[in-house]
């Protein structure tokens, strides 16, 4: 005779719901939002079906749509008209992200608007910072530049700035710069454990931010390292990060789990462009049941310990699972 029968609690949807350990709430999702300065740069992204680059008005409309669906946080990425070696268009008070921040916060004051903070979309060489004399990305000069960009984002109304550059010491410097600018209420979501990943490919097409020489392995993390991720997160927490992040998501669920066990700050995961593309390609071919696959993937992040999930599936998930769905 079998005494223990776990199947008893799987017999109906009602009992399965009753014992369900994890749920993905629409409120936990953050939708990335690409805003192009030139209207001619707006439009679909080949490798990311269902995701688009918007012009300013389109971005506000998209934010409205997301908010109405219950996705009340967006993460802005700018596609500027001009790039140069020193990312001037990134700290222009009238730059595309600054304008988008003002427009969205005016239209939707309650929306939580986050701004990705990096130079790679704004530099002609496509690296995440300033190039030093030896051709490497100059850490400390880049940190100063990030501080300058961050204060213009705060001035424009950002609720959260999200440094994704992986320079050392940037969180403390950005915190100090924001505080000096009386932006003490602007939070920092640090891309703390950001790996040098092949899964950013479609994003770089979307944002036009591929490095023109070399790669990002001199600043982003080696995919082989997990303990180092915890050291990076500890550094960012010590420097005042309000939220820390692991990125990408699916190939790094072990890191996410370890971070959850070690740290008590809110933990975000970025389900990146390549993870989205991979799933969409299989779904388009009829090889996967899209809705179930997406739900399973998003659940894996919450189960592993994420509080916040940044995902290109946010809108679609909210359509199916939101308040009015
Ligand atoms: C900017 C940045 C990148 C992503 C987020 N911020 C690209 C990169 O580091 O090359 C990737 C997001 C995605 O792939 O969805 N540094």
The full DSSP string for 126-150 is: --SS-B-TTSSB-HHHHHHHHHHHH
Domains of the chain: 23-324 (3.20.20.70)
Strands 308-311 and 29-36, by their bridges, are parallel
Active site residues: 194, 247
Which atom, in ligand 1's list, is nearest to the CA of 312?
A: 15
Contact criterion met (CB below 8 Å) for 33 and 63: yes
List the chain pLDDT tens, one digit each, 325 residues: 899 999 999 999 999 999 999 999 999 999 999 999 999 999 999 999 999 999 999 999 999 999 999 999 999 999 999 999 999 999 999 999 999 999 999 999 999 999 999 999 999 999 999 999 999 999 999 999 999 999 999 999 999 999 999 999 999 999 999 999 999 999 999 999 999 999 999 999 888 888 888 889 999 999 999 999 999 999 999 999 999 999 999 999 999 999 999 999 999 999 999 999 999 999 999 999 999 999 999 999 999 999 999 999 999 999 999 876 6
pLDDT, position 209: 87
Q: 207 alpha carbon to ligand 1 midpoint, in Å?
A: 9
pTM, entire model: 0.97
Between CA 17 and CA 215 the distance in angstroms is: 46
Residue from 32, 48, 200, 310 whose mutation best tests the ligand 1 pocket (most atoms within 8 A of CB): 200
Pocket test for ligand 1, best of 78, 80, 83, 118 (most atoms within 8 A of CB): 118
pLDDT at residue 120, rounded to an integer? 92
Residue nearest to atom 7 of ligand 1 (CA): 200
Q: Look at ligand 1, atom 10, and give the residue with the nearest C-alpha.
A: 200
């Amino acid at each position: 005779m079998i005494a223990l029968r776990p199947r008893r609690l799987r017999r109906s949807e009602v009992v399965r719901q009753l014992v369900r350990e994890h749920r993905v709430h629409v409120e936990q999702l953050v939708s990335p939002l690409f805003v192009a300065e030139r209207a001619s740069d707006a439009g679909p992204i080949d490798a990311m079906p269902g995701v688009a680059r918007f012009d300013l008005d389109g971005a506000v409309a998209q934010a409205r749509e997301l908010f109405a669906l219950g996705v009340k946080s967006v993460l802005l990425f700018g596609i500027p008209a001009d790039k140069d070696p020193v990312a001037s268009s990134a700290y222009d008070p009238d730059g595309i992200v600054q304008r988008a921040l003002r427009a969205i916060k005016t239209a939707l004051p309650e929306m939580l608007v986050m701004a990705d903070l990096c130079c790679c979309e704004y530099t002609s060489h496509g690296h995440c910072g300033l190039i030093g004399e030896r051709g490497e990305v100059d850490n400390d000069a880049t940190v100063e530049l990030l501080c300058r960009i961050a204060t213009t984002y705060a001035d424009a109304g950002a609720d959260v700035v999200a440094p994704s550059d992986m320079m050392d010491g940037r969180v403390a410097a950005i915190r100090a710069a924001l505080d000096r600018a009386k932006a003490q209420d602007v939070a920092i979501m640090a891309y703390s454990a950001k790996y040098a990943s092949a899964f950013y490919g479609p994003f770089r097409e979307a944002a036009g931010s591929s490095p023109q020489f070399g790669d990002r392995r001199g600043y982003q993390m080696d995919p082989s390292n997990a303990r180092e991720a915890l050291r990076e997160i500890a550094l960012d927490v010590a420097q005042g990060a309000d939220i820390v992040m692991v990125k990408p998501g699916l190939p790094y669920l072990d890191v996410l789990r370890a971070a959850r066990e070690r740290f008590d700050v809110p933990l975000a995961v970025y389900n990146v462009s390549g993870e989205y593309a991979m799933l969409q390609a299989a779904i388009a071919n009829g090889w996967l049941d899209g809705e179930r696959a997406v739900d399973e993937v998003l659940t894996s992040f919450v189960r592993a310990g994420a509080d916040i999930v940044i995902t290109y599936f946010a809108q679609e998930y909210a359509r199916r699972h939101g308040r009015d769905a």
